[in-house]
Chains A and B, each alone.
Chain A
Amino acid sequence: MDLISFRDLDKGTVEKIFGIAEDMDHQLERKKVEKLDGIMATLFFEPSTRTKLSFQSSAERLGLQVVDFLADRSSLKKGESFTDTIRTVDGYCDVIAMRHPAEGAARLAAEVADAPVLNGGDGANQHPTQTLLDLYTIRKLKGKIAGLNIHLVGDLKHARTMHSLVYGLGMFGAKVTMVAPKGLELEEHIVHEAEKKFNFKMESRDSIDLKDADVLYVCRVQEERFADKYEAAKVKKEFTISADYIRKGKKDLVIMHPLPKLDEIPAEVDAMPQAKYFEQARNGIPIRMACIKMLLEGA
């Protein structure tokens, strides 16, 4: 089994991963984690802080050894192909966690490798462990996902986390409101697929109104996406989540962000009880431990 795309998962499998992650959380609290044997190779062909480190940390906590591939110091520099690199690394490890700028790279890696492959992001396509930890965080903080009002705010078009997140939210019966700057809306085929598959309807708004929101999921508006710098500055200001905005929302509002965040969430918000994005990032550990365990045990 590999973990390539959230679209490959059914609800039963996702719940099973949550169950293992909860068990991992308990084991981590007790500081007594059941150990596994084996070696994980991390192959990150583009930069990462959270995903790479949390995969490595999860593997180490499970007792695995980690070997790391550094793209800029590898034979890629000599022109070695992607598939030859994967075939080679496959011989050195028992599980592969990878990120690559090309869409579908993890799927191709899974075809050529015998070791199970975990996708840590492939271009603008998928980032399944991020979606799993996002859903796990909502469930942990709110006790459920079904029926919650989840507002997705920012550049929904280019944020790869959004593609699988709307799919996951649909799977678990959340009510989704999308708020994106003009031209940076989630692509229609992604919206259509999730709505059709899970028989629900997502709402679109052009401005932020948090009155009915249970969860606010923010992603960065990237200045480089705009040709007009004045327009970029205007939109960035409009999509900045100020402390004032948050005070107008529900007291138990949960604010999430896949990180890294820049100025879309000012530092003053970090200290507010609603800000849960660092807790969200920490949940990457039990979730990735659960995924590694499930793949290594072939369950």
Chain B
Amino acid sequence: MLKVDIIEHGTVVDHIQAGMGKKVLDILGIDEKSGNRVALVMNVPSQKMGKKDILKVEGVLISAEKTDAIALISPRASVNLIKDGKVVEKKQAELPESLHGVGKCPNPNCISMQEKAAGKFHLEGQKYRCEYCERVFKPAELL
């Protein structure tokens, strides 16, 4: 088992679907230029999931909006906010009933794509319907 340092102030995203850790980093807007201390552990054995990815980011407490966005690609992910070395909030990512400004419609003929309008989607079962073009998409297609 790989050992990664405990973080004092930041966010731990656990139970990320294996292979999706890099996409979570994209959602959080963290790259080599952001300067944050980041640990991404991939393909960690998991009783619940078989394999999972875990992400630790020092210095960033991620917003509820970003947590919702993580749910689009990894619906079982959990988000732990850490302050002074203690978990102060634990959030389970879940598909929100509606999305506004999170995700983009993948339909190239949708006006929201052409006019660069903020995407608006409503959850129907396990899929999202674009408020503009009215087509339905899998959550991961919106990112």
Q: Which of B110, B117, B136 contacts A103 (CB 8 A)?
A: B110
Assuming A81-B115, A82-B111, A123-B109, is B131 touching A104 (CB within 8 A)? yes
State in angstroms the CA–CA spacing of A81 and B117 once bound together.
12
User: What is the bound-complex CA distance between A124 and B109, given in angstroms?
Assistant: 9
Q: How far is the CB of A75 from chain B (nearest CB, A)?
A: 16
Report if A101 contacts B (CB, 8 A): yes
A241 interfacial contact with B, CB 8 Å: no
In the complex, whether B114 has a CB less than 8 A from a CB of chain A is yes
Using Cβ atoms and an 8 Å threshold, which residues of chain A touch B117? 83, 108
Query: Which residues from B are CB-within-8-Å of A101?
Result: 109
Number of A-B contacts (CB under 8 A): 49
Of the candidates A82, A104, A189, which one forms a contact with B133 in the assembled complex, judged by CB atoms under 8 Å apart?
A104
- Residues in A with CB closer than 8 Å to B132 are 103-105, 107-108
Q: Interface residue tally of chain B, by bracket?
A: 10 to 19
- Report the bound CA distance from A83 to B115 in whole Å: 8
> Which residue from chain B places its CB closest to the CB of A101 in the assembled complex?
B109
B115 and A123 contacting across the interface, CB-CB below 8 Å: no
Contact A104 to B130, CB < 8 A, known contacts A82-B111, A82-B114, A124-B109: yes
Q: Does B112 contact A (CB under 8 A)?
A: yes
How far in angstroms is the closest Cβ of chain A from B106? 12
Please, how many angstroms separate the alpha-carbon atoms of A52 and B131 in the complex?
25
Name the CB-closest residue of B to A102.
B111
Q: Is the CB of B136 within 8 A of A189?
A: yes
Complex CA gap A7/B117 in Å reads: 22
Tell me the complex Cα distance, A105–B113, Å: 11
Q: Is B31 located at the chain interface by the 8 A CB criterion?
A: no
What are 25 A-B residue pairs whose CB atoms fall within 8 Å in the complex? A7-B134, A81-B115, A82-B111, A82-B115, A83-B115, A83-B117, A102-B109, A102-B111, A102-B114, A103-B107, A103-B110, A103-B111, A103-B132, A103-B133, A104-B110, A104-B131, A104-B132, A104-B134, A107-B111, A108-B112, A108-B115, A108-B132, A122-B111, A125-B134, A189-B136
Q: What residues make up the interface of B, taking CB atoms closer than 8 Å to A?
A: 107, 109-112, 114-115, 117, 130-136
